[in-house]
Amino acid sequence: MPTFYITTPIYYANSLPHLGHLYTTIVADAVSRYKRQRGFETYFLTGTDEHGINIQRAAEREGRTNKEQVDYISGELKRMFHDFGLDSGHGGYDIFMRTTEPFHYEGVQHLWREISGNKTPKGNDPIYKGFYEGWFCAPCAAYKTEDEYYTPDGSDVPFCLIHERPLDKIAEESYFFRLSDYGDWLTETIEADPGLVRPDARRNEVLSFIRGGLQDLSITRQKSSVAWGVPVPGDENHVMYVWLDALSNYITAIGYGNEERSSVGFDKFWPAVHLVGKDILRFHTVYWFSFLKAAGLPLPKMVFAHGMWLDAEGRKMGKTLGNVIEVDVLHQYFQTDAVRYFCLRDMVFGQDGKFGYENLIERSNADLASGLGNLASRTFSMISKYREGKIPSGKITEENYIHARRAGLDPDGQEIVSVLDHARDEFLRRFDNFEFSQALEVLWTVIARIDKMISDSKPWELIKEDRQAETLNAVLYRATETLRWLSVLLAPVMPGSAAAIYSQIGLEGDVSALDPAALTWGELEPGTQIGETLGVFPRIDKSKVMNEIADRTEKLHEQQQVSPAAAEVPASEAEPVEDDLITIDDFLKVELRVGEIKVAERIPNADKLLRFEIDLGEEKPRQILAGLAEYYEPETLIGRKVVVVANLKPRKMRGLESQGMICAASLEGDDLAPAIATFKEDVKIGARLK
C-alpha cells in the first residue's frame, strides 16, 4: 500500500485555540481522508509546540506551572478538535503530538548528535559554539535582523515589525547552526523541484530571502534565561531553540531517534507534506530543509503555505477590532460540515480569504441548503411520491426516445455520463493539486445541471402521462446516481453529510472507504429502496443567528470588561490593520487606587506567587496574588503604599481568589526584580489615581 503523511503546524501552547488552528487542521483532515479513500495508508499529525520563553511567560502570567499551562492549552485544542470531528475517534488525526513527550526529547537529541557528526555542504562543522548578541522577538520566537525591526521615536529599544512590540536584547553564549553554508544548496534544491515549496509566489519569496544572504542561526538558549526546553546533549547549560525542537516533531512522532514511536515507521511515512500558514513558511523551508540536510535526511515532499483568514472587510482579525471569529460560536451555531465546506470552498488555498459569520451563513444557505441539500430532498421525495420509494431503472427504450427528447432529456444517457466522468476527473485533478475551492466548484456545476434537468423535464407533469413513465424514471435515476457520486466525492470534505446522503439513497457501507476514481455510472442498482429522508442541511435563519451571535459577543465583552468601543467603529472608518492601540476612554476604564499592604506571605508550593491583603479604604482589605515571590521577601513589603488595579475581574490562582492587581514593572528579558509602583508622598488610602 502506498503511504501518505500530512502535518499541520504544531500550535503554540501559550494561547487558546482559534480559527487559524481550526482551519489548517480541517484542511489537513480533508486531505488525509481523501488520500485514504484513494488507497493510501495515511498518517496525519497535529499537536502542540510546548517549549520556549512564550510558554514560560504565559504560564507566569496565568499563575500556572509550565506543565499546567501546556496541559491546559493542549487539552483545549483537543476539545476543539473533538467538537469539530477532527480527532482520532472521528477518523481525524493519528497523533496529537506534544513536544514535552520524553520520546520527543530523545529524538531531538539524536538529531542534534547526527547533525554534529556531519559536515556542511562546504565541508565545515554544522554546529559551533559562539557568543550571541542580538534582538529577539518572543512572540515570533526568532532573532530579528535589521530589516525586521524599527525603533519608534522616544524608544531605546527596537520593535518587531510584525508584533509592534519591543524586542529583547540577548547577549549570551550560544551554539550556532552554520546556516550560511546552506544558501547555495537551498537555492539549487528549491529551484530544481517546483513542487517542493508552494504556491509559486511564496516559493519566490523564500528564494529571494535566501539570495539575500543567510546568517548563522543561534540554536540554543542558556538554561539560566530559558529553562523550558530540550537540553542540549552533553551541555546541561543550554536548551535547544524552539524552532529546532518544534520542527523535529514531524520526524520524532513517527519514530526518528526513539523507540517509542518506531512502530509507526519513519522509513514508511517520511517524507511528509507540511501544511503551514504563510507566516511560518521560512522556518519550514530555510531552517527545516537545512537541518534535515545536515542530518543526512530526505527533505519533505512538499511544504504548502496557505493564506490568512481576514474579516469580512479584509482586515486582520484581532481583539482590538472585535472582529475575531469565535470557534465556540462556530460550534454552537453551525454544522461542522458547513464550516468544513466553507473553509475549503471559500478560501483559494494559498491566498488570503475573508471569513465573516454572514458569509458563512450565506454560502451555507446557497450551496448546501438550497444546492446539495435541496437536490437530495427533492429527489428522494419524488422517488417516495412517484415510485413508492424504489429507485427506478434509468433505461429508456428506443421507442420512447422521442418522448424523452420532448422533455429535454438526452435519451441514451451518454451526455450525462460524460459530464459526470469529466467532473470526477477534474475534481480529482484539482484536489490532488490542493486546489480545493476549484475542485468543489466543479461539483456545484454538476448540481446546477441536475437541478436544471429536473426543472426542465418537470417530473410533476411527466407523472400525468403514461408514455413518459420511462422519462420520469430516467430523471429520478440520474438525479440519484449523481447524488451517489457526489456523496463519494464529498466524503473527505463533509464526512457526516456524505454518509447521510449515501444512506438516504438506501446504500449500506462506509462511503469514506470508496475510491472516487473507481466511480462508474450505472452501478446504482435499480430497485434499491431509499432510506429515511431527513434534511441534510437545514436553512439558517440569518437575522436570527446574527442577532444571537451579536448578543452573545456583547455579553462576553461585558464579562471580560473589554470595551466594545473598537468593535463599534464603522468598517469604513476603522483602521485597515489591527494596531493594538487603545483610546483614552479605554484607559480611563482602569481604576487605579492607592492601597496599603497589610499582609504579605508566601503560598505553600508556589515559587512565584505571594499572597497579599491590601487596604483600599474599603470595608475589608482585598486579597491579591502577585508573582513577586522570586524577588521580594514578603515581610519587607508590609506597610508599603502601592498602586492597585481595583476593577479587575477577580480570578482564581492556586485555589485562591485574587481581587485586583499590584502595579509593578520589569524589563522584559531582564532578570532584575520588578519595580513596584509606590509613593514617597503621604497619599490617602483608597484615593483614585487620575
Cα 503 to Cα 380, 398, 528, 557: the distances in Å are 12, 33, 11, 44
> What interhelical angle do 374-387 and 469-490 show, nearest 10?
140
What is the phi/psi pair of residue 239, to 5°?
A: -115, 160
Q: Is 51 a catalytic residue?
A: no
* Near ligand MSP in 441-500, by CB under 6 A: none
Best CA proximity match to 600, nearest among 608, 611, 609: 611
DSSP at 287: I
The distance of closest approach from Cβ of residue 326 to ligand MSP in the complex, given in angstroms and rounded to an integer, is: 13
Q: Using the minimum distance from each CB to ligand MSP, give the nearer residue, 345 or 403.
A: 345
Element housing 420 (H / E): helix 414-432
Q: Is 403 a catalytic residue?
A: no
| Residue 87 lies near ligand MSP (rule: CB under 6 A) | no
The site for ligand MSP, by CB under 6 A, has a size of 18
Q: Which of 6, 37, 42, 49 binds ligand MSP (CB under 6 A)?
A: 49
Q: Is 140 a catalytic residue?
A: yes
The distance of closest approach from Cβ of residue 308 to ligand MSP in the complex, given in angstroms and rounded to an integer, is: 4
Q: Which three cell numbers stand for residue 509?
A: 457501507
Q: Which three cell numbers stand for residue 424?
A: 470526477
Q: Which amino acid is at 78?
A: K
Q: Using the minimum distance from each CB to ligand MSP, give the nearer residue, 577 or 683.
A: 577
The distance of closest approach from Cβ of residue 577 to ligand MSP in the complex, given in angstroms and rounded to an integer, is: 13
Cα 401 to Cα 155, 397, 556: the distances in Å are 83, 7, 64
What is the DSSP code string of 142-197? EEE-GGGEE--TT-SS-EETTT-SBPEEEEEEEEEE-GGGSHHHHHHHHHH-TTTE
* Near ligand MSP in 513-532, by CB under 6 A: none
> Annotated catalytic residue: which of 104, 110, 140, 284?
140
Q: Using the minimum distance from each CB to ligand MSP, give the nearer residue, 99 or 659.
A: 99
Q: Using the minimum distance from each CB to ligand MSP, give the nearer residue, 269 or 309.
A: 309
Is the CB of residue 596 less than 8 Å from the CB of residue 640?
yes
Q: Which three cell numbers stand for residue 391?
A: 429507485
The distance of closest approach from Cβ of residue 458 to ligand MSP in the complex, given in angstroms and rounded to an integer, is: 46
DSSP-based three-state secondary structure for 687: coil
| Residue 108 lies near ligand MSP (rule: CB under 6 A) | no
> What interhelical angle do 436-457 and 336-346 show, nearest 10?
110
Q: Using the minimum distance from each CB to ligand MSP, give the nearer residue, 246 or 626.
A: 246
* Near ligand MSP in 541-570, by CB under 6 A: none
Q: What spatial distance separates the first Cα and last Cα of the chain, rounded to whole Å?
A: 71
What is the Cα–Cα distance from 579 to 575, expressed in whole angstroms?
A: 8
Q: Is 542 a catalytic residue?
A: no
| Angular region, 654: left φ>0, alpha ψ -120 to 50, beta rest | left
The distance of closest approach from Cβ of residue 390 to ligand MSP in the complex, given in angstroms and rounded to an integer, is: 47
DSSP-based three-state secondary structure for 676: strand
Q: Using the minimum distance from each CB to ligand MSP, give the nearer residue, 17 or 495.
A: 17
Binding-site string for ligand MSP from residue 311 to residue 350, where x marks contact by CB under 6 A and - marks none: ------x---------------------------------
Q: Count the residues in the chain.
A: 690
Is the CB of residue 658 less than 8 Å from the CB of residue 622?
no
Best CA proximity match to 19, nearest among 281, 310, 282: 310
Q: Using the minimum distance from each CB to ligand MSP, give the nearer residue, 19 or 599.
A: 19
Q: Using the minimum distance from each CB to ligand MSP, give the nearer residue, 66 or 487.
A: 66
> How many CB atoms are closer than 10 A to CB 392?
21
CA dihedral sign, ordered 191, 193, 194, 196: negative
Is the CB of residue 262 less than 8 Å from the CB of residue 5?
no
The distance of closest approach from Cβ of residue 501 to ligand MSP in the complex, given in angstroms and rounded to an integer, is: 29
Q: Which amino acid is at 143?
A: Y
| Residue 309 lies near ligand MSP (rule: CB under 6 A) | yes
Q: Which three cell numbers stand for residue 360?
A: 458563512
The distance of closest approach from Cβ of residue 251 to ligand MSP in the complex, given in angstroms and rounded to an integer, is: 11
Q: Is 452 a catalytic residue?
A: no
Q: Which amino acid is at 385?
A: K
The distance of closest approach from Cβ of residue 300 to ligand MSP in the complex, given in angstroms and rounded to an integer, is: 12
What is the DSSP code string of 323-391? -PPPHHHHHHHS-HHHHHHHHHHHSPTTS-EE--HHHHHHHIIIIIIIIIIHHHHHHHHHHHHHHTTBP
Q: Using the minimum distance from each CB to ligand MSP, give the nearer residue, 7 or 365.
A: 7
* Near ligand MSP in 271-300, by CB under 6 A: 276-277, 279-280
> Annotated catalytic residue: which of 129, 319, 555, 652?
319
The distance of closest approach from Cβ of residue 266 to ligand MSP in the complex, given in angstroms and rounded to an integer, is: 17
The distance of closest approach from Cβ of residue 234 to ligand MSP in the complex, given in angstroms and rounded to an integer, is: 24
Q: Which of 73, 246, 488, 540 binds ligand MSP (CB under 6 A)?
A: 246
Q: Which three cell numbers stand for residue 263?
A: 512502530
Q: Using the minimum distance from each CB to ligand MSP, give the nearer residue, 161 or 402.
A: 161
The distance of closest approach from Cβ of residue 279 to ligand MSP in the complex, given in angstroms and rounded to an integer, is: 5
Q: Is 343 a catalytic residue?
A: no
* Near ligand MSP in 2-31, by CB under 6 A: 9-12, 20-21, 23-24
Q: Which of 28, 55, 226, 247 binds ligand MSP (CB under 6 A)?
A: 247
Q: Is 301 a catalytic residue?
A: no
Q: Using the minimum distance from each CB to ligand MSP, give the nearer residue, 70 or 391.
A: 70
What is the DSSP code string of 20-67? HHHHHHHHHHHHHHHHHHTT-EEEEEEEEE--SHHHHHHHHHHT--HH
> Annotated catalytic residue: which of 316, 354, 395, 557?
316
> Annotated catalytic residue: which of 78, 160, 293, 403?
160
Q: Is 422 a catalytic residue?
A: no
> Annotated catalytic residue: which of 67, 129, 163, 544?
163
> Annotated catalytic residue: which of 137, 144, 293, 608?
137
Which of the residues are catalytic?
18, 21, 137, 140, 160, 163, 316, 319
Which positions lie near ligand MSP, rule CB under 6 A?
Answer: 9-12, 20-21, 23-24, 49, 246-247, 276-277, 279-280, 308-309, 317
